[in-house]
């Protein structure tokens, strides 16, 4: 019952399991729960934070990966990647523990979806390529399409030039 419950809901705590078993008439301790789950190959780990993606996004990522699977390594030297991230200024990001088997850290049940916007933090935008890092800037306003376009126009091309990337650019 313990293993089945945890596999169905990896975020179940030892306390929840002790209470469930107590209601069913069985008295066990938290260490007994831990030992039982470890014998079944499960371990308590921090849940991985992963971007919140809709199924359409996952399919688009897979399509892109399949289309470029056999691209020569040299082609990737002409690609510049960019992303933005949020850094929490105060406190800590709450950690949730999950019971999982080895190599199952990215299974959706074992992850915490994240979003890129919120309060009490700073936003950063940066880019990089196979040739090294590009610019890293602080985003001072709420990110929207116009803001993102402005960031790209002011920072992506100068980064590509600084990295001496072949983009058909004049110096």
The per-residue pLDDT for range 60-105, each reduced to its tens digit, is: 999 999 999 999 998 888 899 999 988 876 555 566 788 788 888 8
Domain extent, residue 141, equals 71-96+115-171
Number of structural domains the chain divides into: 1
Say yes or no to pLDDT of 31 above 50: yes
Domain for residue 160, yes or no?
Answer: yes
**Residue 157, in any domain of the structure:** yes
Quickly state the pLDDT bin for 22 (edges 50, 70, 90).
very high
37-57 confidence digits (pLDDT tens)? 999 999 888 888 888 889 999
Is 47 within a domain?
A: no
- pLDDT band per the 50, 70, 90 thresholds, residue 117: low
Does 48 reside within a domain?
no
Would you say residue 139 lies in a domain?
yes
Distance CA 170, CA 166 (A): 10
Residue 161 belongs to a domain? yes
- Which of 33, 45, 60 is closest to 100 using CA atoms? 45
The predicted model scores a pTM of 0.55
Residue 143 in any domain: the answer is yes
Helix, strand or coil for residue 147?
A: helix
Instruction: Confirm whether 62 is domain-assigned.
Output: no
């Amino acid at each position: 019952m313990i293993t089945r419950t945890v596999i169905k809901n990896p975020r179940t705590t030892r306390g929840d399991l002790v209470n469930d078993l107590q209601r069913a008439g069985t008295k066990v301790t938290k260490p007994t729960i831990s030992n039982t789950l470890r014998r079944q190959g499960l371990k308590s780990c921090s849940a991985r934070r992963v971007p919140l993606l809709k199924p359409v996004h996952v399919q688009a990522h897979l399509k892109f990966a399949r289309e470029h699977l056999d691209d020569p390594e040299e082609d990737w030297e002409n690609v510049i990647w960019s992303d933005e991230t949020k850094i929490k200024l105060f406190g800590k990001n709450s950690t949730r523990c999950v019971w999982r088997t080895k190599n199952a850290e990215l299974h959706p049940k074992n992850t915490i979806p994240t979003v890129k916007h919120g309060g009490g933090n700073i936003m950063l935008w940066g880019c990089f390529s196979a040739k090294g890092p590009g610019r890293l800037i602080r985003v001072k306003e709420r990110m929207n399409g116009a803001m993102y376009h402005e960031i790209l126009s002011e920072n992506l091309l100068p980064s590509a030039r600084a990295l001496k990337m072949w983009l058909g650019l004049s110096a």
